[in-house]
């Protein structure tokens, strides 16, 4: 493998870190500026019934309502729910899941923490399991389960865990109360085996985030349309060095039988760590040629 | 491997089953509150979730290893067959 241009990688990771800080301010209490903006459009918010925190970007609840038609009225009187249902997936159609790669602190926290652990101690899911069918299977399960059993609750959600971290860090001591029982176990799984000890650090994003999976599906479905940019590989420039695959946090670089590297649109979050590090410039964030 | 192979379909349904088992256990949890946050009874669905998700991932790994072994045997057979028939 050729040497990775580490300065380009570090620069891109710093830019993304600034994006995640922005995401924290936009989506998470005590700031939640974007959630508050959507809340202003909502009669439910005006009545003081909406909570201005990461729950405003929750896709799991509207998905669960497929089995609870009496809840559909919530979609009419609370503009907040259109953020995860429509705005984020449509943005993923237009640009790819930039939210995941550049704004989501819940994905970023374990990813950045994992940089502290040497790669030899990490498990590379890509080498051992079929990530894409597992990912869609978990999403289908989350859609299916409310019809036959209990809905999967907030404690399984990394948005909730991240909100609890931010609440606790910003002085709201009730945030600590959630780190007990199931909350503690879910947070531990999110950060330790699926974060610190996962190659790329985004194991939870790979398998268990319904919002990320829906955005990945939207991105894949629209990737071939001529208007929308994605990270794309130019096969004629690829030297098959494997640098892109090594730095990809989502394990989204596939290698075909002729050793050419391609981007898996189901998984790619358009973070562009690979773009700056490719020694031959074979990867670009661009429209289809 | 085609995009929709038997391995991928089996993996998909293992993941569906893992979430299904978790949802079922959450429903029969003694508290029945379905807000598994601070309640220690919720360790039952939480433990089930971790175990079933782990099993789905392990099942996917086993399926992939089996498919890879099958493909090696198939390739070796294809390479040997011209000599055998020639």
In chain B, the residue whose alpha carbon lies closest to the alpha carbon of A133 is: B12
Closest CA to A266 of A204, A207, A202, A213: A213
What are the tokens at A92? 């993923």
Which of residues B75 and B38 earns the better pLDDT score?
A: B75
Residue with tokens 């098959």: A240
State pLDDT tens for residues A117-174: 999 999 999 999 999 999 999 999 999 888 887 767 777 788 988 998 898 888 887 7
State pLDDT tens for residues B10-66: 999 999 999 988 888 877 766 655 555 566 777 787 888 889 999 999 999 999 999
Tell me what pLDDT residue A52 has. 80
Q: Is B46 left (phi over 0), alpha (psi -120 to 50) or beta?
A: alpha
What mean pLDDT comes out for the span A38-48? Answer: 65
Does the model's ipTM exceed the 0.85 cut? yes
In A, residues 150-169, which contact B (CB 8 Å cutoff)? 150-156
Helix ranges (DSSP H) in B1-86: 6-28, 43-85
Q: Are B18 and A152 in contact (CB under 8 A)?
A: no
Residues 6+ apart with CB under 8 A from A86: none
Q: How many CB atoms lie under 10 A from the CB of residue B33?
A: 14
Question: Residue A259: which pLDDT band, with cuts at 50, 70 and 90?
Answer: confident
Question: Residue B86: which pLDDT band, with cuts at 50, 70 and 90?
Answer: very low
State pLDDT tens for residues A58-101: 888 888 888 888 888 878 878 888 888 899 999 999 999 999 99
Tell me what pLDDT residue A103 has. 96
Q: Are A67 and A148 in contact (CB under 8 A)?
A: no
User: Could you tell me whether strands A261-263 and A283-286 are parallel, antiparallel, or unpaired per DSSP bridges?
Assistant: unpaired
Nearest CB among A138, A153, A180 relative to B35 is that of A153
Tell me what pLDDT residue A65 has. 85
| B26·A134 Cβ contact <8 A | no
Tell me what pLDDT residue A172 has. 84
Both ends of chain A: CA-CA distance in Å?
28
Residues of B in contact with A141 (CB under 8 A): 15-20, 23
Which pTM value belongs to this model?
Answer: 0.90
Taking the Cβ of residue B37 and every Cβ of chain A, the question of whether any pair is shorter than 8 Å is answered with yes
Q: Are A104 and A20 in contact (CB under 8 A)?
A: yes
Give the total residue count for chain A. 289
Instruction: Report d(CA A74, CA A65) in Å as an integer.
Output: 10
In chain A, the residue whose alpha carbon lies closest to the alpha carbon of B42 is: A182
């Amino acid at each position: 493998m050729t040497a990775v241009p580490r300065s380009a990688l570090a620069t891109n990771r710093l830019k993304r870190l600034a994006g995640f800080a922005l995401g924290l301010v936009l989506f998470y209490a005590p700031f939640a500026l974007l959630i508050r903006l959507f809340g202003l459009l909502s009669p439910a918010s005006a009545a003081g019934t909406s909570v201005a925190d990461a729950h405003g970007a929750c896709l799991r609840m509207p998905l669960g309502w497929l089995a609870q038609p009496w809840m559909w009225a919530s979609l009419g009187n609370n503009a907040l729910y259109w953020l995860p249902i429509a705005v984020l997936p449509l943005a993923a159609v237009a640009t790819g899941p930039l939210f995941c790669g550049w704004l989501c602190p819940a994905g970023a926290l374990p990813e950045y923490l994992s940089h502290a652990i040497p790669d030899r101690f990490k498990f590379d899911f890509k080498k051992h399991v079929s990530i894409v069918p597992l990912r869609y299977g978990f999403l289908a399960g989350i859609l299916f389960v409310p019809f036959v059993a209990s809905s999967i609750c907030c404690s399984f959600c990394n948005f909730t865990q991240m909100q609890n971290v931010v609440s606790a860090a910003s002085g709201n001591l009730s945030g600590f109360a959630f780190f007990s029982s199931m909350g503690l176990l879910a947070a531990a799984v999110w950060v330790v085996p699926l974060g610190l000890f996962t190659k790329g650090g985004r194991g939870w994003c790979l398998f268990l985030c319904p919002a990320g999976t829906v955005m990945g599906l939207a991105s894949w479905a629209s990737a071939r349309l001529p208007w929308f940019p994605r990270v794309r590989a130019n096969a004629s420039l690829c030297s098959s060095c494997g640098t892109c695959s090594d730095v990809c946090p989502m394990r989204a670089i596939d290698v075909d039988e002729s050793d050419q590297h391609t981007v898996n649109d189901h998984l790619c979050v358009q973070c562009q760590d690979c773009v700056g590090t490719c020694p031959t410039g074979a990867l670009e964030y661009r429209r289809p040629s | 491997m085609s995009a929709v192979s038997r391995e991928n379909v089996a993996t998909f349904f293992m993941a569906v089953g893992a979430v299904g088992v978790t949802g079922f256990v959450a429903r029969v949890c003694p508290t029945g509150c379905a807000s598994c946050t601070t309640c220690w009874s919720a360790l039952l669905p939480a433990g089930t979730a971790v175990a079933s998700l782990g099993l789905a991932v392990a099942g996917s790994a086993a399926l992939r290893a089996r498919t890879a072994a099958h493909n090696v045997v198939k390739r070796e057979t294809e390479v040997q067959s011209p000599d055998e028939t020639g």
